């Protein structure tokens, strides 16, 4: 938790608080008070508010166009430090009463506090998870239908993000979709569906081709947040299904950045080798609401920022015209 004093200092010190980012709900961009309005992002994904121009939107965003460890990137096999799931302790409680699901304009985000992630002697607390469409990281050069980002923060104010690709399911759901029954303003517990393709611990890339119940449950209410700035309470969320799945795989680890302004570096990335899935109908429904929210793939780690590479190239092309 970030203390009120620190929040105040950060609010006073940083203009970047004015914009929401994929760090919304962390010390970089604390959430509004409980029950407050959902902020709508002022950056975007196309035109002059898109990622080619993020650095011009706020001084705090400079690193978007100068950083040399920017995310997302192509996750080529063999090029990353493989982190076995056994090397990290990962726990997220079920949200038996449901939790808040918000439309920030540039993403849809589930407020999910209380989980812990421990690795390399550091302890991180889950803040939220949100969705990108299509995926931001590339799986060996190939974009995936969507990507889920689980955003964690340590007491030392470091950020870790678990990225999980989401495919379009090729199998029908193994059971009926979660039954959602309204009951005194709350929802009845959805029926748990056991079936999910399992995999062994060899670190091989694994797929869940049946729709992931957690995702289908969350997206069953996505229509209620079609408009930016709106929020809805989800049905109860059973997290163990997805946790079991990603713990059975491994992670490609690297030190990168936030994929939205202010593009801060030093983010501990853990890209899961497990994949989740949504039904084709759910994918279309979510696509119509998100539209497009994927930053272009950044240069390889340690290489010059692509926007600087492009600026030099553009200047070289324009030089003869200026004469």
Report the distance separating Cα 186 and Cα 197, nearest Å: 31
User: Which parts of 73-112 interact with ligand NAG (CB under 6 A)?
Assistant: 77
Q: Which stretch binds ligand NAG (CB under 6 A): 200-208, 212-220, 244-252, 254-262?
A: 200-208
User: Tokens 């955003």 sit at which residue?
Assistant: 151
CA dihedral defined by 254, 260, 262, 265, rounded to 10 degrees? Answer: 0
**Phi-psi group of 128: left, alpha or beta (phi > 0 → left; psi -120 to 50 → alpha; rest → beta):** beta
Q: CB count, 10 Å around CB of 59? A: 11
Q: Which stretch binds ligand NAG (CB under 6 A): 145-153, 198-206, 282-290, 296-304?
A: 198-206
C-beta closer to ligand NAG: residue 120 or 142: 142
In the complex, what is the shortest distance from the CB of residue 204 to ligand NAG, in angstroms, rounded to a whole number?
Answer: 3
Q: Binder to ligand NAG among 9, 37, 204, 315 (CB under 6 A)? A: 204
User: Which parts of 133-162 interact with ligand NAG (CB under 6 A)?
Assistant: 140-141
Dihedral sign, CA of 236, 251, 74, 21?
positive
User: Which parts of 41-80 interact with ligand NAG (CB under 6 A)?
Assistant: 77
The CB-nearest residue to ligand NAG is 204
In the complex, what is the shortest distance from the CB of residue 258 to ligand NAG, in angstroms, rounded to a whole number?
Answer: 27
Q: Which helix (H) or strand (E) holds 271?
A: strand 265-278
Q: Which of 290, 287, 288, 309 is nearest to 298 (CA)?
A: 309
Q: Binder to ligand NAG among 35, 172, 200, 323 (CB under 6 A)? A: 200
Q: Report which DSSP code applies to 9.
A: H
Q: Which helix (H) or strand (E) holds 150?
A: strand 146-154
Q: Which stretch binds ligand NAG (CB under 6 A): 36-44, 63-71, 143-151, 199-207?
A: 199-207
Question: Contact positions toward ligand NAG, by CB under 6 A?
Answer: 77, 140-141, 200, 202, 204
């Amino acid at each position: 938790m970030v203390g009120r004093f620190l929040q105040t200092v950060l609010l006073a010190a940083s203009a970047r608080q004015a914009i929401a980012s994929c760090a919304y709900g962390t010390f970089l961009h604390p959430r509004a008070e409980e029950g407050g309005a959902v902020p709508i992002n002022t950056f975007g994904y196309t035109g002059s508010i898109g990622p080619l121009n993020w650095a011009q939107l706020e001084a705090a965003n400079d690193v978007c166009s100068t950083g040399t460890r920017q995310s997302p990137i192509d996750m080529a096999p063999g090029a990353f430090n493989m982190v076995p799931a056994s090397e990290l302790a990962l726990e997220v409680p079920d949200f038996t009463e449901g939790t808040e699901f918000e439309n920030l304009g540039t993403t849809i985000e589930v407020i999910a506090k209380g989980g812990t992630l421990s690795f390399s002697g550091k302890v991180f607390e889950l803040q939220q998870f949100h969705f990108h469409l299509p995926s931001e990281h590339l799986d060996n050069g190939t974009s995936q239908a969507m990507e889920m980002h689980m955003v964690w923060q340590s007491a030392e104010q470091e950020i870790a993000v678990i990225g999980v690709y989401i495919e379009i399911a090729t199998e029908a759901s193994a059971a009926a979709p979660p039954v959602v029954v309204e009951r005194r303003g709350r929802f009845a517990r959805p029926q748990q569906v056991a079936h999910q393709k399992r995999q062994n611990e060899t670190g091989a890339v694994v797929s869940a081709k049946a729709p992931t119940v957690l995702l289908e449950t969350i997206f069953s209410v996505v229509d209620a947040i079609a408009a930016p700035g709106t929020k809805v309470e989800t049905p109860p969320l059973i997290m163990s299904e997805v946790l079991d799945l990603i713990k059975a795989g491994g992670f490609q680890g690297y030190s990168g950045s936030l994929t939205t302004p202010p593009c801060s570096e030093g983010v501990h990335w853990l890209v899961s080798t497990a994949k989740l899935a949504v039904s084709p109908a759910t994918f279309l429904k979510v696509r119509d609401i998100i539209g497009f929210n994927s930053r272009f793939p950044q240069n390889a780690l340690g290489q010059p920022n692509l926007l600087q590479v492009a600026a030099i190239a553009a200047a070289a092309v324009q030089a003869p015209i200026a004469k």
